[in-house]
């Protein structure tokens, strides 16, 4: 174990939609423009915010999740981020104290506490005066170790800001590190699954430039950097927790990556590479077939429902994937990837299109969020990623459902009696709506890579 100097800060908010992502991306861009090497992390299981972070800093952003990982693993991930950066900016999730069910477990506060990170809350300043001090005081004093070291005011005027700053600091003792005026031209749009992806935002670079320029004038960036530098060193071991596999040759795993499939945990892919796999990206939308010489397939989540017709029209790719899966190539297909494996998939207009066809039935639009949130899934029998009775921690978030969700696992909600069956599991395939976090259960990643290597040797 070694002590890692890790300047870091967490950006939180009282609720979702308060401007965390906009402020975090603007701060990251401002830091990069100053010549600093910035690392980014996201609390919780979200895929999309890290994609924005990565677009800003030009490197991957990782998830910090205390349902998927232990406190020690999360500290190791933060320390690993610090090895090649000057400062790490962690974006919170939902409201600052909002965790599993109505608890604070796995909340942004929980991550700040576990990693000894100071938090700065983005507070909406619209339509309030002295009441804003009550909100700040409430968040700062709700827990004895709240970690709340400051706030930034969002959507306030330059004329009102000095008075609000003095009010909050005098009434609460919490530092105010600046403000953002109303910036409609810098907002990041929403859709049914949170934000649009970074690739879909018009003139994202221009918006980030304008946002960072405003923040240089209105936010005490020097003060935020100084606050980050007060964070204590982290004791850290190797975050992977497993040794690389001794393989005759590196198995090549085809990873779907395009506008339809883009949801992957960065550390899950890094873990597969650490174990000895070579990852080869391909596009189910645009390529005609799987890459040559692959011995594994990873179909992540995304928005296949928005591209159902285009995916269907690429019949050569559908046939290539179907043939490979039926021949026994080890495959992981999560949520969107699972939907793509169905016989049919409805688009946003409920028009159905033929897909890969290895999962019987149709994936269809429901107009409501289904089985949302964290789950633990227990294997009913031995399969590719888990043996009978073993549990994997996962997350579901989807507005589409399936006529055939599978029954290879029993899913249970944490802090609840609710359960259901889900997923498909064979010796060569995992497919289901649950998104898995492989670094949380390294043996599953090991089994997948070993299966890919064995398939490669036999083919």
Could you list the pLDDT tens digit for every one of the 459 residues in the chain? Answer: 568 899 999 999 999 888 898 899 999 999 999 999 999 999 999 888 888 888 888 877 999 999 999 999 999 999 999 998 999 999 999 999 999 989 999 999 999 999 999 999 999 998 889 999 999 999 999 999 999 999 999 999 999 999 999 999 999 999 999 999 987 666 654 444 344 555 555 667 788 889 999 999 999 999 999 999 999 999 877 777 899 999 999 999 999 999 999 999 999 999 999 999 999 999 999 999 999 999 999 999 999 999 999 999 999 999 999 999 999 999 999 999 999 999 999 999 999 999 999 999 999 999 887 787 899 999 999 999 999 999 999 999 888 999 999 999 999 999 888 999 999 999 999 999 999 999 999 999 999 999 999 998 887
- CA dist., res. 42 & res. 63, Å (int): 5
For the chain, what is the HEC assignment? CEEECCCEEEEECCCCCCCHHHHHHHHHHHHHHCCCCEEEEEECCCCHHHHHHHHHHCCCCEEECCCCCCHHHHHHHHHHHHCCCCEEEEECCCCCCCCCCCCCCCCHHHHHHHHCCCEEEEEECCCCCCHHHHHHHHHHHCCCCCCEEEEEEECCCCCCHHHHHHHHHHHHCCEEEEEECCCHHHCCCEECCEECCHHHCCCHHHHHHHHHHHHHHHECHHHHHHHHCCCCCEEECCCCCCCCCCCCCCCEEEEECCCCEEECCHHHHHHHHHHCCEEEEECCCCCCCCCCCCCEEEECEECHHHHHHHHHHCHHHHHHHHHHHHCCCCEEEECHHHHHCEEEEECCCCCEEECCCCEEEEEEEEEEEEEEEEEEEEECCCCCCCCCCCEEEEEEEEEEEECCCECCEEEECCCCCCEEEEEEEECCEEEECCEECHHHCHHHHHHHHHHHHHHHHHC
Domain chopping of the chain, boundaries: 2-236, 252-458
pLDDT number for residue 399: 87
Q: Bin 281: left if φ > 0, else alpha if -120 < ψ < 50, else beta.
A: beta
Structure tokens given for 206? 């221009």
Structure tokens given for 192? 């049914």
Convert 138-164 to b/e letters by CB count within 10 Å (16 or more is b).
Answer: ebbeebeebbbbbbbbbbbeeeebeeb
Torsion (CA) 285, 291, 294, 299 in degrees, nearest 10: -10
- CA dist., res. 363 & res. 430, Å (int): 17
Contact 227, 147 (CB under 8 A): no
Total-model pTM: 0.93
Structure tokens given for 434? 């649950």
Question: Which residues sit opposite 90 in a β-bridge?
Answer: 10, 41
- CA dist., res. 186 & res. 167, Å (int): 28
Fold for the domain defined by 252-458? Rossmann fold (3.40.50)
Number of other residues whose CB lies within 10 A of the CB of residue 291: 15
Structure tokens given for 438? 């492989």
pLDDT number for residue 189: 44
Note whether 2-236 and 252-458 share their fold.
yes
- CA dist., res. 439 & res. 269, Å (int): 9
Structure tokens given for 27? 């701060």
By annotation, the residues acting in catalysis are: 335
pLDDT (tens digit, 9 = 90+) per residue, 422-438?
999 999 999 999 999 99
Architecture (CATH level 2) of domain 2-236:
3-Layer(aba) Sandwich (3.40)
pLDDT (tens digit, 9 = 90+) per residue, 409-423?
999 999 888 999 999
Structure tokens given for 268? 């899950």
């Amino acid at each position: 174990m070694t002590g890692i100097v890790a300047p870091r800060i967490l950006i939180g908010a009282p609720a979702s939609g308060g401007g965390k992502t906009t402020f975090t991306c603007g701060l990251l861009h401002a830091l990069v423009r100053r010549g600093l090497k910035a690392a980014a992390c996201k609390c919780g299981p979200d895929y999309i915010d890290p994609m924005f972070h990565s677009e800003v800093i030009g490197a991957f952003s990782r998830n910090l999740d205390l349902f998927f990982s232990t406190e020690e693993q999360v500290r190791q991930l933060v320390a690993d981020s610090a090895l090649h950066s000057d400062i790490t900016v962690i974006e919170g999730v939902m409201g600052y104290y909002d965790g599993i069910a109505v608890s604070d477990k796995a909340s942004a506060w929980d991550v700040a506490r576990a990693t000894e990170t100071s938090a700065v809350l983005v507070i909406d300043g619209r339509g309030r005066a002295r009441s804003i001090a009550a909100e700040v005081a409430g968040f700062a004093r709700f827990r004895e170790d709240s970690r709340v070291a400051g706030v930034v005011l969002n959507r306030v005027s330059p004329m009102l800001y000095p008075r609000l700053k003095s009010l909050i600091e005098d009434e609460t003792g919490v530092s105010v590190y600046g403000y953002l005026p109303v910036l409609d031209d810098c907002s990041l749009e929403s859709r049914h699954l949170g934000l649009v992806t970074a690739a879909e935002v018009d003139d994202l670079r221009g918006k980030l430039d304008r946002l960072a320029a405003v923040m240089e004038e209105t936010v005490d960036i020097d003060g935020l950097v100084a606050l980050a530098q007060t964070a204590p060193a982290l004791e850290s071991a190797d975050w992977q927790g497993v040794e690389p596999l001794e393989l005759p040759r590196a198995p090549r795993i085809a990873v779907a990556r395009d506008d339809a499939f883009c949801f992957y945990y960065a550390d899950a892919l890094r873990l597969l590479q650490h174990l000895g796999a070579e990852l080869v990206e391909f596009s189910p939308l645009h390529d005609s077939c799987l890459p040559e010489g692959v011995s594994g397939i990873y179909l992540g989540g995304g928005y296949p429902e928005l591209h159902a017709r285009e995916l269907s029209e690429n019949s050569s790719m559908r046939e290539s994937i179907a043939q490979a899966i039926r021949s026994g190539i080890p495959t992981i297909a999560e949520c969107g990837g699972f939907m793509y494996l169905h016989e049919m998939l409805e688009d946003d207009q409920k028009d159905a299109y033929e897909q890969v066809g290895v999962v019987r039935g149709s994936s269809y639009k429901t107009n409501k969020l289904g089985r949302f949130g964290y789950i633990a899934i227990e294997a009913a029998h031995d399969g590719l990623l888990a043996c009978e009775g073993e549990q994997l921690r996962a997350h579901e978030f989807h507005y589409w459902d399936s006529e055939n969700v599978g029954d290879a696992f029993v899913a249970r909600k944490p802090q609840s009696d609710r359960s259901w069956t889900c997923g498909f599991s064979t010796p060569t395939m995992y497919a289901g709506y649950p998104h898995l976090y492989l670094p949380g259960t390294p043996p599953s990643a090991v089994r997948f890579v070993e299966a890919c290597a064995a398939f490669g040797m036999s083919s």
